[in-house]
Amino acid sequence: MHRSELERQIAAIASLDEPVRRGLYCYVARRRRDVGRDEAARALRISRALAAFHLDKLVRQGLLDTSYRRLTGRRGPGAGRPAKLYRRSAHQLDLTLPRRRYELAGRMLAQALTEARSPAAVRALRRAARNLGRSLGADASRGRRGAGTARGPLARLLPVLEWCGFEPVRSNGSVQLANCPFAALARESRVLVCGMNLALLEGVLEGVQARGMRAVLDPQPLACCVVLRSARRRYSPSASGR
């Protein structure tokens, strides 16, 4: 029986209701690199066979992608068979019931702003983004969105970034944003969307009162175009959308 796209998305999300499978998916997603069966099994303290079973289920549901590579680095006879590796799929699940197509509306609005070439409209967009970010950050400072008022700015900042879908990762005094929540729009209107992203995150930093950090444009493959760095760190931007 032919399944609709809606049915496929429901089945994919429903498959994560199984605890071991959900744990494997979350582990692979957090690693942000290829993960082998042995590593995944050790991480969840399950057998390799059970890990392989659930990982391959996730592949069939479109939630993980696979590749093959020898993990030893050896080549030629005696090097062994390539290992099957898993990585989070770039395929997007966007399920709303009843169906809503907010991305479609966003694409039309982004295209209209891009084609209009109106500096005033772009300034208005960035102003709105910064105001929204400031509001989200202020909510966190008041103890909303999972951040308590007694904690420091960075502790208030990270839950806001998670809530927005940026998947923040702390690294050497910076906060890398491993996911762009607006990736589909950025592919079509990169300068517009990256500028909006930058303004939004500048507003969030203001809202949580993270005066020791600043948002800078630094596009990276498969990640957000913005990085949050220490304000004391000298930086020469590789790209500017402002």
pLDDT at 2: 58
- 5-88 against 102-230: fold identical: no
Q: Is the pLDDT of residue 79 over 50?
A: yes
233: confidence class by pLDDT, cuts 50, 70, 90 = low
The dihedral formed by the CA atoms of 26, 222, 200 and 215, expressed in degrees to the nearest 10: 110
Q: Are strands 213-217 and 226-230 parallel, antiparallel or unpaired?
A: antiparallel
| Total number of residues shown for the chain | 242
CA distance 110 to 186: 9
Residue bearing the bigger pLDDT, 95 or 208: 208
**Partners of residue 176 on adjacent β-strands:** 169
Better-predicted residue by pLDDT, 171 or 168? 168
Please give the structure tokens belonging to residue 12: 């994919």
Nearest to 180 by CA among 97, 92, 72: 92
Q: Is the pLDDT of residue 150 over 80?
A: no
Q: Domain ranges for the chain, please list them.
A: 5-88, 102-230
Topology of 5-88 in CATH? Answer: Arc Repressor Mutant, subunit A (1.10.10)
Cβ neighbors of 198 (< 8 A, separation 6 or more) are 126, 215, 216, 217, 225, 226, 241, 242
| Interatomic CA distance for residues 154 and 161, integer angstroms | 10
Q: Which residues contact 202 (CB under 8 A, 6 or more apart)?
A: 130, 133, 214, 215
Of 160, 175, 162, 167, which Cα lies nearest the Cα of 222?
167
Torsion of Cα atoms, 147 then 151 then 156 then 158, to 10°: -100
Tell me the per-residue pLDDT of 115-124, one tens digit each, with 9 for 90 and over: 998 999 999 9
Q: What's the CA gap between 154 and 139, in Å, rounded?
A: 14
H or E element at residue 227: strand 226-230
For 231, phi then psi, to 5°, come to -65, -20
What architecture is domain 102-230? 2-Layer Sandwich (3.30)
| 143 Cβ contact partners less than 8 Å away, ≥ 6 residues apart | 149
Q: What is the pLDDT of residue 23?
A: 97
- Helices 119-141, 153-164: axis angle to 10 degrees equals 120
Beta strands 213-217 and 174-177: pairing type?
Answer: unpaired
* C-beta neighbour count of 138 within 10 angstroms: 18
Which amino acid is located at 142 in the chain? R
- Please give the residue that has the higher pLDDT: either 58 or 3: 58
